Amino acid sequence: MGVRFQHWCLLQRSFSKHDFNQSSGDEDNDETEEMIQFWINNLNTLWDIRFEEREPRKEDKVVQINLKSETNPNPIFISESLSPSEKT
């Protein structure tokens, strides 16, 4: 299931909670459809900005260090590119 379809389903659920007067004719239905399309377009744009147009994650090599003793270890991972003073 695509992201844009999920957006549409979310909008459909939110609009179905409201009581729209179905007997007033096609004019209200047209306004509802326009409002749904407006929000679908906005959500798609926000999705593209947030997730699809950003730079990929940078891979950083890490090393494991132990913060405690050999008998009571507390290992953590830190960046290999840190200077020696930053590693201690």
pLDDT of residue 74: 92
pTM recorded for the entire structure? 0.34
Distance CA 29, CA 81 (A): 59
Q: What is the DSSP string of 36-57?
A: HHHHHHHHHHHHIIIIISSPPP
Q: What is the pLDDT of residues 23-57, one digit of tens each?
A: 555 566 778 888 888 988 888 888 877 776 667 77
For residue 84, give the nearest of 63, 70, 69 by alpha carbon: 63
At 79, phi and psi to the nearest 5? -70, 135
Tell me the mean pLDDT in the region 1-8. 60
Q: Tell me how far CA of residue 53 lies from CA of 15, 41, 48, 56, 59, in angstroms.
A: 29, 16, 6, 9, 18
